[in-house]
Amino acid sequence: MDNKYIKSSINKIEVPKEDVFNAIDEGIKRESQTKTKKSTKKKLIISCVAAASICGITFLSGFFIPSMNQVLASAPFIGRIYEEFGDNLGVELAKDELVTELDEEITQNGVTVKLKNAYFDGDNVSIIGHVSGNIEKGELHFDVNFENNKGDKEDSWLNNMSTGIHESEDGYDFQWKLKYPYGEIKEDFTLPVSIHNINGIKGNWSFDVPIKQDINKTLMVNKSKFYKDEEIKIKIDEINVARETSNMIFETVSKYKNDYIDIYKAEDENGNELFNYKNNTKLSTLVKEDNHYNIYRKNINKIDKDIKSIKLYPSLLISETPVQETLNKRSFILESKRTDFKIKVKNITEEGNTLIVDYNFKGLKENLSKDKFDILAHNLSYSFSLVDKDFINDIDPENPFLPKGHSISRNNVKLIDKDNYHFQSVFELDGEEKIEDFSLENTILRFDFTSFIENKKLEPFTIDLSK
């Protein structure tokens, strides 16, 4: 009988994967109790043969059934490394055979990089690899870009990227977890990866990684919620359902450019939380009729097919621009434009090489806890700044670095009266930061209220999925 025909016929036999997984896991548990490498190999082989016998599999003419090979290549082995990195999504995708195995290896300047596997689910992309060779033990650092980009600012794949690293006998295992950065998600594409430097060793480790996932199902929601008092709007556009995860596309509208509007929690109709404070991927931003529009994608847990509605919990963190006053006045009030906060400056004193600003912080809650009071004092040391008035207009609102040699950004905070939030901020005029030719008349005191503004939770609303 033709060997090819036998292989083709046997490969069509349905393999009970759960039995195989259970048998292999049991074998691996026994294997971990052995004392030598030699006995470890024997027990692992025995456990695999046991798994095959459970399924009624026969070894014929020196070849192993291909479908069995596919099963053994999935969760117990590929999934094991995802367990090591604490990646439950990777474990589940490995069980469903939705992880792409890679066999790409490049050696440059004595360092070898091998890419092992990748997955793509929703907008979650993962690449696992191994580094070995002429690298010192310790921390592992990559200089890497994607899609042939050359700098971090140009590379949108680096936003929300995280790296997991495990040391092994001959090097390091690593995992890059990425967020798909574009609005329209492709189900099948190639991701160019370029590593320029590993622990100070320069090279050109370049790969083309195939990325694919099962077809998503899209639920069109098109539900808006307007908050009159805050002058903002949230619009839920759609929910995309992948094999193990889902993601939600939503739009925010505000009069203020730097207001941060988010959805911090979601619950299905059975009260199950679908996420809690997960990061967003910003897809687009534009200004129209003095309003600022932002579109985000947020990962959420897999939604059960029977769920008909989801309750969403939005929040708002308002933005502030710094307020300022010239020091030719000894007392004045710095007022927040969008909150009830005020800094009531009672006196300004120049003593030797120090400038002392004496003030009360108005509008704070009463009886702050010790921890919150410590945070308040810490933030005060960074929220004041002194700037030469001739250089104040050099500060870019979009990138507000203070002019070097003409500003002081730090102060030492002294508590005078806790009950009345009475403080003194002491600036060192001859420290590392200086203002050339300092004088009270030519110096501006700036204060930024941003770090004292709390995230405001807004009224939740429900979206309907039954349509």
pLDDT at 77: 64
Separation in Å, CA 271 to CA 219, 267, 312:
20, 5, 11
Q: Provide the residue-wise pLDDT of the chain in tens; the chain has 467 residues.
A: 443 333 334 344 444 444 444 444 444 444 444 333 333 333 333 233 333 333 333 333 333 333 334 433 444 568 899 999 999 999 999 999 999 999 899 999 999 999 999 999 999 999 999 999 998 877 899 999 999 887 777 899 998 899 999 998 899 999 999 999 998 888 899 999 999 999 999 999 999 999 999 878 889 999 999 999 999 999 999 999 999 999 999 999 999 999 999 999 999 999 999 987 778 999 999 999 999 999 999 999 888 889 999 999 999 999 999 999 999 988 999 999 999 999 999 999 999 999 999 999 999 998 899 999 999 999 999 999 999 999 999 998 888 899 999 999 999 999 999 999 999 999 999 999 999 999 999 999 999 999 999 999 999 999 999 87
Element spanning 114, H or E: strand 111-121
Cα-Cα-Cα-Cα dihedral sign, residues 388, 394, 396, 401: negative
Task: Tell me how far apart the alpha carbons of residues 362 and 452 are, in angstroms, rounded to a whole number.
Answer: 12
Report the pLDDT value the prediction gives residue 132, as an integer from 0 to 100. 95
Residue recorded with tokens 């991927």? 281
CATH 2.60.40.1630 domain residues, the chain: 98-212
Domain with CATH 2.60.40.1640 in the chain: 217-320+456-464
Regarding the domain with residue range 98-212, which homologous superfamily does it belong to in the CATH classification?
Answer: bacillus anthracis domain (2.60.40.1630)
Cβ(118)–Cβ(178) under 8 Å?
Answer: no
Assigned CATH topology for domain 217-320+456-464: Immunoglobulin-like (2.60.40)
pLDDT at 67: 38
Residue type, 311: K
